[in-house]
Amino acid sequence: MKRLTKKDLALSMQSSGRTVEEIAQTLKCTPSYVANVLIASGKPSDYSDLYTSSIAQNAYARMFSGVLRFKDVQAAQASIARIDSLFHQFEEERDRRGQHQAQLMALIGKNRAEGIGKTAEARVFADWLVSHLDTANAHACDREPPRQSEYEATEKENDYTQLSLYDAVLAFA
């Protein structure tokens, strides 16, 4: 006789109309776990947080699949290089929504790295995000950074230095 797993129970409970939160409470696990089980099995999940798979959430997510890594600073830098490449690809295509998705991935990377105590890796994501909030003046990591005079020209009209990271993200969302 086959033993029922937590995944089997979650799928069964979802098909009977229970919410992700109710299932998680009953099975004594996180809502993220339940949502990822549903997503992996092809079932719709209305639950979303930083730890759920975004593959089912939008078309851009496939491009960013597997990008976030924080094993060490070099892995975080490689993640940012890929995010930056996609960001500037979207910029060339004038795809503002794609650029926003790249910014969102950097924010998710920062938050996840912080959540597991990887502060140096989180800083890699945060630094890139802050430098790419103003999409009109964002430069590619592998391209020549803007000259100081270019910063000074836009600094007076776009002084974002007093914004918190949260407020800055909201300002450009």
Domain residues for the domain of 48 are: 1-57
Higher-confidence residue of 135 and 103: namely 103
Q: Are residues 44 and 75 in the same domain?
A: no
pLDDT for the residue 151: 37
**Per-residue pLDDT for 66 more than 70?**
yes
| Tokens linked to 151 | 């910063």
Q: Are residues 111 and 126 in the same domain?
A: yes
How many Cα atoms are found within 13 Å in the side-chain-facing hemisphere of 124? 25
Q: Are residues 51 and 127 in the same domain?
A: no
Residue with tokens 């099975």: 27
Instruction: State the Cα torsion 122-127-132-134 to the nearest 10°.
Output: 120
pLDDT for the residue 103: 93
Confidence label for 137 from pLDDT (cuts 50, 70 and 90): low
Q: Are residues 13 and 72 in the same domain?
A: no
DSSP assignment letter at 27: H
pLDDT for the residue 45: 75
Percent of the chain with pLDDT over 70: 72
Q: Are residues 86 and 50 in the same domain?
A: no
**Per-residue pLDDT for 129 more than 90?**
yes
Is-contact 77 113, C-beta < 8 A?
Answer: no
- Overall pTM > 0.95: no
Q: Are residues 147 and 95 in the same domain?
A: yes
Q: State the Cα–Cα distance between residues 45 and 31, nearest whole angstrom.
A: 10
pLDDT for the residue 146: 43
Q: State the Cα–Cα distance between residues 52 and 36, nearest whole angstrom.
A: 6
Q: Are residues 80 and 53 in the same domain?
A: no
